[in-house]
Structure 1
Amino acid sequence: MEFLIDDIDRAIVTCLAQDARLSLKVLSARVGLTSPSTAERLKRLEERGIIQGYSARVNLAALGYTLQALVRVKPLPGMLQKVEKYLQAMPQCIECDKVTGEDCFVVRLVVKDIAQLDTLLDGLAEQAQSNTAIVKSSPVTRRLPAM
């Protein structure tokens, strides 16, 4: 499915990716349209699934989640669906990608301490092998690709 968007749509998406709380008035001024025109474009971007929602960036450390870990997960034979459900039900799992290669999943966990990480990984051990890396920093955070 290919989506063609023009420069104004790109500007709208870029502005909202930087600050999803922009008022319609400010957004309209930034992209050079009237508020009704901007509102119509926003509606079309949403209907086409290009804009799928609006969210806040949250400082996880300020909420007590001092560690992040990337975990490669390789389910044991016959455990793929069970592992997937376990990961989906885990509140500390903030991202999970199903991947090709040796492992089936790459998971981003946020935890309050190493003990909590150990507990989560212990719960996974009966169903899968895992390889864990602690995140030291994130020089590139989630962002839009060039449009």
Structure 2
Amino acid sequence: MPDQIDALDLRILVLAVREPRAGVREFARRLGVARGTVQARLDKLEKQGVLTGWGPVVDPGGLGYASKAYIRLSVAQGVLDAVTEGLSRIPEVIELDSVAGDSDLLCLVVARGPENLEEVIQRILGVPGVTRSRTEPVLRQRIPRRILPLIEALRRDR
């Protein structure tokens, strides 16, 4: 953990994750510190790349994209950036990571159902430089993406 993040920063992060709409004034009241202190700490955390946004979290399922799948992609040598650019043009690709192992990229996609998933896979395979894929449909999400337990563990370690 960067030395610049202290116990107050962690307390602010807990509030920001639990209640992002509460606002700086409410954070200051709950923490017993000045509003300017909270704002300065939030600005610092954003500048350090710890806090990366305040936007709403939208569930693709609520938009009709109830199916998810992980697709492992193998890519021809020397075209990783071009493949990334091509995949970024497919709206159903909601996350993409470079990985080590049997594949080069791990792609998280959403689809409206099995037929639409097949269409999405075909568009992915049509990106120049993609040489092979392996699809792993998500049956059910067991633990949603979360950060609060990690922040709380850091607080306990202090």
Does 2:123 align with 1:123?
Answer: yes
Indicate if the aligned counterparts of 1:83 and 1:124 stay in contact, CA closer than 8 A. Answer: no
- TM-score using structure 1 length: 0.87
| Unmatched tracts of structure 2, length 5 or more | none
Residue in structure 2 matched with residue 111 of structure 1 by the alignment = 111
Indicate if the aligned counterparts of 1:79 and 1:128 stay in contact, CA closer than 8 A. Answer: no
| Unmatched tracts of structure 1, length 5 or more | none
Corresponding residue SS for 2:49: coil
Does 2:31 align with 1:31?
Answer: yes
Corresponding residue SS for 1:123: helix
Cα distance in 1, alignment partners of residues 20 and 77 from structure 2: 43
Does 2:139 align with 1:136?
Answer: yes
Indicate if the aligned counterparts of 2:68 and 2:138 stay in contact, CA closer than 8 A. Answer: yes
Q: Residues 62-86 of structure 1: CA distance to partner in whole angstroms, max 9, x if unpaired? A: 1101101111111245653442222
Q: Residues 27-58 of structure 1: CA distance to partner in whole angstroms, max 9, x if unpaired? A: 12333312121112112222222212212122
Aligned residue pairs, count: 147
Moved more, 101-110 or 75-84: 75-84
Corresponding residue SS for 2:121: helix
Amino acid at match of 2:135: T
Corresponding residue SS for 2:15: helix
Cα distance in 1, alignment partners of residues 42 and 124 from structure 2: 42
Does 2:94 align with 1:94?
Answer: yes
Taking structure 1 as reference, are residues 125 and 45 closer, same or farther at Cα in structure 2, changes over 3 Å only? closer
Q: Residues 94-132 of structure 1: CA distance to partner in whole angstroms, max 9, x if unpaired? A: 111101111001111011122221112112335321111
Cα distance in 1, alignment partners of residues 3 and 111 from structure 2: 37
Taking structure 1 as reference, are residues 120 and 32 closer, same or farther at Cα in structure 2, changes over 3 Å only? same
Corresponding residue SS for 1:116: helix
